[in-house]
Amino acid sequence: STDDTNKGMAPDSTIISMKVLNSAGSGTTANLISGIDWCVNNASIFNISVISMSLGTSSLFTSYCDDNDALLTSSIANAIAKNITVVAATGNADSTTGIASPASITNVTSVGGVTKADAMDFNRNSITDLLAPGVSITSTKKGGGFESLSGTSMSAPHVAGAFALLRQYKRLENSTILTPAQIQDALNDTGKQIDDTSGSGLFFSRINIYAALLSLDKFAPNVTFVAPTPANNSNATINSTDSYFFINLTSNEVLS
């Protein structure tokens, strides 16, 4: 749901909803695997490029938990092999050492959250991949309309939208299909560095989509201005109302 004010991260994206939890917010790993597998099997039909999961276990993991659920790990690996990014929320228990599964699985892009002032919040640890705003975020409301919500369930869709935008940009630019790892690296390398402030010594990248886009745009013009001098402006015409001078400008592509 969007309107002229609340357009979301990637407003022209098409969203396919997979119901894997019940009305109380609970579900089984088997249902989650079925949802991921459906996306993998139908990726070509529906042009699925990102899976966003605002869900997680109550148990938290301090390191990668691939061995904890081999079937889920395999399902996610199949998605990555199909060039589908898998994004998951880290959870909201304010842990500085543990994050929920499936965010704690190796191939998943795990997303923690910050306030709009870039203050740390929610679960994070050394295997957390990216941060995005997650406090007082305008979100869709059950029954229609919008409301303000907080949690990594707000942060994860920010990152999923960022992946969709960057992938689509490069595809339209020169038919390049970026991998999940390439997009994640761009967001990590260009994001704002946020200090954990918990004493862990960790820093995280809060996504900056425009900066990431520029880093991926190898065709962005490199423009250099050279200050004019009297020698190269000897033909300038100056009168009482107007001043004219020449500027030397060089670029690595044709400018229009």
In order of 1, 53, 115, the CA distances from 147 in angstroms are: 12, 20, 17
Confidence of residue 43 (pLDDT cuts 50, 70, 90): very high
Report d(CA 40, CA 193) in Å as an integer. 33
CA distance 152 to 114: 9
90-125 residue pLDDT tens:
999 999 999 999 999 999 999 999 999 999 999 999
How long a stretch of residues is the chain? 256
Q: Within 10 A of 163 (CB to CB), how many other CB atoms are there?
A: 30
Q: Is 188 helix (H, G, I), strand (E, B) or coil?
A: helix
64: left (phi over 0), alpha (psi -120 to 50) or beta: beta
Asked whether the predicted pLDDT for residue 29 surpasses 50, the reply is: yes
Strand partners, 192: 206
Mean pLDDT of all residues in the chain? 89
The position carrying tokens 């969007």 is 2
The per-residue pLDDT for range 56-94, each reduced to its tens digit, is 999 999 999 999 999 999 999 999 999 999 999 999 999
- In this predicted structure, the answer to whether residue 243 has a pLDDT above a threshold of 70 is no
Q: What is the CA radius of gyration of the chain?
A: 23
pLDDT value at residue 183: 97
pLDDT at 2 over 80: no
Q: Residue 255: pLDDT above 50?
A: no
Report the greatest alpha carbon distance in the chain: 80
- How sure is the predictor about 142, in pLDDT bands with cuts at 50, 70 and 90? confident
Best CA proximity match to 109, nearest among 84, 92, 139, 134: 84
The per-residue pLDDT for 228 is 59
* The predicted structure's pLDDT at residue 174: 87
pLDDT-derived band at 199, boundaries 50, 70, 90: confident
CB 154 within 8 A of CB 139: yes
Q: What is the pLDDT of residue 245?
A: 52
Q: Which of 51-60, 89-98, 243-252 has the lowest mean pLDDT?
A: 243-252
Is this prediction's pTM over 0.85? Answer: no
Give the pLDDT of residue 256.
Answer: 45
Reported as a pLDDT band with limits 50, 70 and 90, residue 247 is low
Q: Is the pLDDT of residue 24 over 50?
A: yes
Q: Which of 19-28, 45-54, 237-246 has the lowest mean pLDDT?
A: 237-246
pLDDT band of residue 239 (cuts 50, 70, 90) is low
- The C-alpha atoms of residue 39 and residue 51 are separated, in whole angstroms, by 8
